[in-house]
Homo-oligomer: A and B are copies of this chain.
């Protein structure tokens, strides 16, 4: 199967925009979006005759989703899997067995997310502590001068 195909176009004819507009809209660099393509994370719905990547709103949603995932520190590979997992679940029911598998995956990502949040909190605490230390240094040395 092709890495991460966009699900069914929602309704009317999808607007197709080039990478530049897509980039501006989601707030990612063109280079980043191309990289996501190369990595098989988000494959544009189509190409122009000349070879330009064409993105739909659906693609934009995925890009936005990935942008939101980034702070969780997942690798592109992991995000790719999560995306396909979500898509698969959102699409057809398939076998009950398959559903179970994908639900499991989703749950695993949920746990991973919580773990990430935990370490983000730790990092924040450490960072704050360190900032304090810095300020103490500053005050100490400032006193002697002023």
Contact = CB atoms under 8 A, between A and B. Distances in A.
B89 A126 contact: no
B110 A131 contact: yes
Given A99-B145, A142-B103, A127 B117 contact: yes
Please classify how large the interface on chain A is, using the bins under 10, 10 to 19, 20 to 34, 35 or more.
35 or more
A138 B72 contact: no
A141 interface: yes
A127 B120 contact: yes
Contacts of A14: none
Interface string A39-69: 0000000000000000000000000000011
A25 interface: no
Chain A residues touching B, majority SS: helix
- Count copies of this chain in the complex: 2
Contacts of A35: none
Contacts of A116: 127
Interface string A11-36: 00000000000000000000000000
Contact of A131 (B117, B122, B142): B117
Contacts of A99: 141, 145
Contacts of A137: 86, 89, 106
A69 B99 CA distance: 44
A37 to B, nearest CB: 22
Contacts of A122: 71
A103 B138 CA distance: 7
